[in-house]
Amino acid sequence: MQKFTVEPEALRRAAYVVDAAADHAGVQTSLTPTRNLGHARLSAAAEELLQSLTGGWTEATTQIDAVAASLRATAQIYERADADGERDAHAIGAQR
């Protein structure tokens, strides 16, 4: 049987790194509203592009947040599994 080890705290640290990277990227990519570019169609196109980029960034941020949340949830799952396994091992040992 193969064996592997998971460190829940390492998963939490990874979630923190993902959160920090998303926060940093959010600050670096903040977009300002377009100004009048001198031509109505050009201004409208620039505004549409800005809205498109903002929507895409919002979706990416949502997905990044979900990754961090999943890492934290996975850490909890492994901790519960370890606790349950330890409890079961003690129960089996007590029955012998």
- 9-20 pLDDT, tens digit per residue, is 999 999 999 999
CA 36/CA 48 separation, integer angstroms:
13
pTM above 0.85, yes or no: no
CA 88/CA 79 separation, integer angstroms:
14
pLDDT at 34 over 70: no
Buried b (16+ CB within 10 A) or exposed e, 81-93: eeeeeeeeeeeee
pLDDT band at residue 46 using 50, 70 and 90 as cut-offs: confident
pLDDT computed for residue 31 by the predictor: 59
